[in-house]
Amino acid sequence: MLIALEHVTFGYDVPIISDATLSLAENERVGFVGGNGEGKTTLLRLILGELTPDGGEVFKKSGIRIGYLAQTGGFESSSTVYGAMKEVFAEDEQLISRLRETEKELASAAPAEMKVLSSRIESLEKRIAARDSYHFEVRIKTVLGGMGFEGMYTQNVGTMSGGERTKLKLCRLLLEEPELLILDEPTNHLDIKTLFWLEEYLTSYKGAILVVSHDRYFLDRITSRTLELERGRLTLFKGNYSKYKVLKAERFKEEMRAYERQQEEIAKLKDYVDRNLVRATTAKSALSRVNKLDRMEVLEKPVPPLQPPRFCFPAEEKPYERVLDVSNFDLFADEKQLLRGAAFTLMRGEKCAIVGDNGTGKSTLLKFFLSGDRRVVFGRLVSVGYYDQENADLDQNSRTLDAFWGNYPLLTQTEARKLLAQAGLGAEDMDKKVSELSGGMRAKLALAVLEAKKANLLILDEPTNHLDLPARESLEEALKAFDGTLLFVSHDRRFIEALATTVCCIEDGQLVRFNGGYEEYLMSKKRPPMSEEKTPKKAAEGYRSKEERAREARIRTRTKEIETRLEAIEAEEEELNAALAEQAADYVKVRGITEKLEALRRESDALYAEYETLI
């Protein structure tokens, strides 16, 4: 067992955590869910020892190594990106350096010293093999490349953005490989390609993982148990997030059935007592029922799950069939060209997701469509509603009620408050300044403003940012029911999968349309292309050229050859090291063996250098 909580209670003015009991075992994968403000980060800080519980105890395995990725606060270093990661492997570099030095000493040692030096070499080789020290640079490049830092190795960490430094912190943790990895929203700042890589990496991670995330796809892929914090109570469910949703609903139904059955039984017992206690002939049996009532452990009525916000997007009028048409345009961000010769058409009723790596221009594209550029043509009767991921349209100095009501003064105050309440903003939020609201509350306010506009074309830029899981699912259901046209950008793959009827991808400066939903888009990216004469012209843009495929095939072949040869070199080195220990007294044979080892090392170093350029 790595971590155990026993009856832990914690709070400030009011309890946040009540009677929490939990144990985490080695290699477990636990997803941690709960609404915004429920106290998930507080519980993590209790586990880390940053907070002391008001009651109960937190136990940790002696000497446990815990790695923690906070939502905010990235990696700090004065080194370069690559140098900062290399610091993790200082001991590996020292072991390899000591081995090289010992081998040089052995080559010129007197016969009396050879046995001691050979024994030292054997010990160092075992430690290096156990730590896999020779491969540490490959591991660094694998993690940095997978997390999107390829080509940035020499950049100074201090010059990077907050999001980039948070990603670097995660890279460092992955390389350190702590026994327990605690991740608080690790998918923030990651594009879809990097998310898939991280999921693949974490599925083979050796330690335990406790992860807080609003990414349902990520939780389903990574976790096998789900920890819920609701109203201060911790509950552990078997299974990933999707399984947890089913089990939670079943558990509430069963608890409610048990409560109702007991209430029926209590009512029957009390009725019998009321009717028979005063009768001499039945008083004895009535008293037995009184005793039964006294002994009964009365169940508390189950508290229903917290209700998520409710969203609804009515469209007042129906536009013409062609909703948006843009032809032959280039797209720039400052001086960087993002798209060249692009075209885009959106038809009535389509729900189109714009996808692409970070920095490819997804948000910039949406803003271009709304810029008033003469090349952007909206169809007749189209009314546009726009959701900005920064919520920049909200007046930060206004009261919450005024920020909403000011946009729709014809609504009564009762109607305005009702719409805000449905979106999850309570009476206590009405008089707060917008700047005082949490990110999740500001998002709900912006969505309420969007609802009241009753637009038939919704353009949404990362609408699920800052929303907890119940709010995301509620928004998803509302947009499924929306009978207008939808154009959106999102990093939430489950959200895209549920809504998109077509996908447009920004890649290599081109805007490529894939007809079909998100699952079809992913499959089209994975399967090999058809031959050129069989490939439809529209789909051809989404595939690699014949030259690119041939080059990738050559890389795969060479990579396999190198891996095979490296395995053979390792086997030869083991045999030579064993022979070295046996022949320690024979100076001539020792020299010959060390020369062969040195030759193998030079070949190994050259192969690893080539291997790193291929992966």
DSSP letters along 229-247, please?
A: EETTEEEEEES-HHHHHHH
Question: Which residues make Cβ contacts (< 8 Å) with residue 292, sequence separation at least 6?
Answer: 269
Q: What is the arithmetic mean of pLDDT over 143-152?
A: 92
Please write the tens of the pLDDT for every residue from 87-136.
999 999 999 999 999 988 888 888 888 888 889 999 999 999 998 899 99
608 pLDDT tier (thresholds 50, 70, 90): confident
Is the model's pLDDT at 280 over the cut of 80? no
Is the model's pLDDT at 254 over the cut of 90? yes
Q: What is the arithmetic mean of pLDDT over 402-425?
A: 91
Average of per-residue pLDDT values in the chain: 89
Kind of pairing, strands 208-212 and 29-33? Answer: parallel
Amino acid of residue 155: Q
Tokens of 287: 């008293």
- Distance CA(147)–CA(75), nearest Å, equals 14
In the chain, % helix, strand, coil (3-state, to 5) comes to 50, 20, 30
- Distance CA(113)–CA(102), nearest Å, equals 11
pTM: 0.78
Provide the pLDDT for residue 536: 42
Q: What is the arithmetic mean of pLDDT over 460-486?
A: 94
Look at the block and give the residue holding tokens 């912190």: 169
Look at the block and give the residue holding tokens 């880390």: 48
Local structure of residue 80 (DSSP, 8 states) = B
In the chain, what percentage of residues exceed pLDDT 70?
94
Is the model's pLDDT at 614 over the cut of 80? no
Is the model's pLDDT at 527 over the cut of 90? no
- Distance CA(464)–CA(489), nearest Å, equals 10
Question: Which residues make Cβ contacts (< 8 Å) with residue 26, sequence separation at least 6?
Answer: 1, 2, 179, 207, 208
Is the model's pLDDT at 541 over the cut of 60? no
Given a contact cutoff of 8 angstroms between Cβ atoms, the answer to whether 319 and 347 are in contact is: no
In the chain, what percentage of residues exceed pLDDT 90?
62
Provide the pLDDT for residue 477: 96
Range of weakest confidence among 30-34, 82-86, 94-98, 188-192:
188-192
Query: What's the longest Cα–Cα distance across the chain?
Result: 113
> Environment class of residue 337 by beta-carbon count within 10 Å: exposed (0-12), middle (13-18) or buried (19+)?
exposed
Contacts 24+ apart (CB under 8 A), 295-304: 296/262, 296/266, 298/262, 298/266, 299/255, 299/258, 299/259, 299/262, 300/259, 301/259, 302/252, 302/255, 302/256, 302/259, 303/231, 304/252
Range of weakest confidence among 71-80, 227-236, 321-330, 334-343:
71-80
Is the model's pLDDT at 517 over the cut of 60? yes
Is the model's pLDDT at 406 over the cut of 90? no
Is the model's pLDDT at 535 over the cut of 70? no
Provide the pLDDT for residue 407: 87
Local structure of residue 147 (DSSP, 8 states) = T
CB neighbourhood size of 332 (10 A): 13
Sheet holding 29-33, edge to edge: 66-69, 180-184, 208-212, 29-33, 225-230, 233-238
Of 150, 492, 557, the C-alpha closest to 353 is 492
**Helix or strand (DSSP H, E) at 91:** helix 90-107
- Distance CA(517)–CA(265), nearest Å, equals 52
- Distance CA(262)–CA(258), nearest Å, equals 6
Q: What is the arithmetic mean of pLDDT over 430-445?
A: 91
449 pLDDT tier (thresholds 50, 70, 90): very high
- Distance CA(255)–CA(261), nearest Å, equals 10
- Distance CA(224)–CA(244), nearest Å, equals 10
Is the model's pLDDT at 605 over the cut of 80? no
Provide the pLDDT for residue 20: 93
Is the model's pLDDT at 526 over the cut of 70? no
Please write the tens of the pLDDT for every residue from 21-62.
999 999 999 999 998 888 999 999 999 999 999 999 999 999
